[in-house]
Amino acid sequence: MNIIPRIHFAHLPTAIETMPRLEEALHGPHLLVKRDDQTGLAFGGNKTRKLEFLVAEAQAGAADTLITAGALQSNHCRQTAAAAAKFGLGCTLVLVGEPPAQASANLLLDQQFGAKIIWVEKSLRDMALKQAFEQAIAQGHRPYLVPYGGSNPTGALGYAFAMQEFVGQGIKADWIVFASSSGGTQAGLVLGAAVFGYTGKVLGISVDEPQAVLQERVAKLASETSERLGAHLNFKQEEVLVNADYSAPGYGVLTGAEREAIQLFAKYEGLLLDPVYTGRAAAGLIDLIRKGFFKPDETILFWHTGGQPALFAEQYQSKLV
């Protein structure tokens, strides 16, 4: 295996817990949860694993500034800003939307970490990101562009090794279910399953993308990431398991299904989900259990990718009461 730069700052391995009360309430299969909401950096989340590799690559290139983009309440941007603060780097965030009258949740944390924020409409995001990068160079900085969601071969390594971690914990799961959007987490898990010997099924619940789009994205990224490991694997689109049945409302649109999932996880397990990613993935998981998609004797692991600070965003508070 190739030598890969990595900075170890996540709190790993993350715990795996049973969810007996939720399992009983749903009359479903055996339920586990892997707590990547507890990776340690700025309230944790899945991006921390990716940033161990992305920040290492940035430092190897002598970068002094991290630049990335995301939604107004982006978990990725929050963790990137925190990593920049932790390692003494500058940080510029290109956020889609209008600046609110008062910052809350992830945006408030971005500001606490000292990130410079550029506001744009979605159609101008990529152009604004390019301009921010060029401006940083013109100002004498050495910027490093962190991809959207941390989802490139460098970032996806975080979840290839997360799968190695899970396999090493020796706990059997027939299915791993989680939120999938930019594709880096799923690509890493798919690659890690092939390389480190996980024989169950890896099912991404799409947050916002059509099934075919996400399958193609994940297969391509998993194949590219395998080169970094020296594995040289070629994943096919049909090998990637994606359920996009719950993505129709659109990114960040909270429905009754997400509200119920958040409330059930809180009520029965004391676990907090977020309204955009884990809430939607959990809603999908709950619906699939109710429909009998999983066999009664199977074990399902819900990979909790974090995002809880978004619960405290103004636009969600009233809807979650």
What does residue 127 show for φ and ψ, rounded to 5 degrees? -65, -40
pTM greater than the 0.85 cutoff: yes
Q: What is the CATH number of domain 16-46+153-320?
A: 3.40.50.1100
What pLDDT shows up at residue 183? 97
Cα 16 to Cα 78, 179, 185, 286, distances in angstroms: 24, 17, 18, 19
Active site residue 223: no
Domain layout of the chain by residue ranges:
16-46+153-320, 47-150
Q: What DSSP string describes 227-250?
A: HHHT------GGGSEEE-TT-TT-
Contacts of 67 (CB under 8 A, 6+ apart): 91, 92, 93, 94, 129, 132, 133, 136, 143, 144, 145, 146
Q: Which residue has the tokens 């550029």?
A: 118
Say how far apart CA 14 and CA 4 lie, in whole Å: 21
Contact 89, 58 (CB under 8 A): yes
Contact 9, 40 (CB under 8 A): yes
What pLDDT shows up at residue 310? 93
- Residues in a beta bridge with 70: 95
Contact 272, 265 (CB under 8 A): yes
Which member of 74, 180, 206, 223 is catalytic? Answer: 74
Instruction: Convert the pLDDT of each residue in 146-155 to its tens digit.
Output: 999 999 999 9
> 3-class SS at 82?
helix
Positions of the chain with pLDDT lower than 50, given as ranges: 318, 321
What pLDDT shows up at residue 321? 44
What pLDDT shows up at residue 3? 84
What pLDDT shows up at residue 252? 87
Q: How far does the chain reach from its first CA to its final CA, in angstroms?
A: 50
Q: What is the CATH number of domain 47-150?
A: 3.40.50.1100
Q: What DSSP string describes 282-297?
A: HHHHHHHHHTT-S-TT
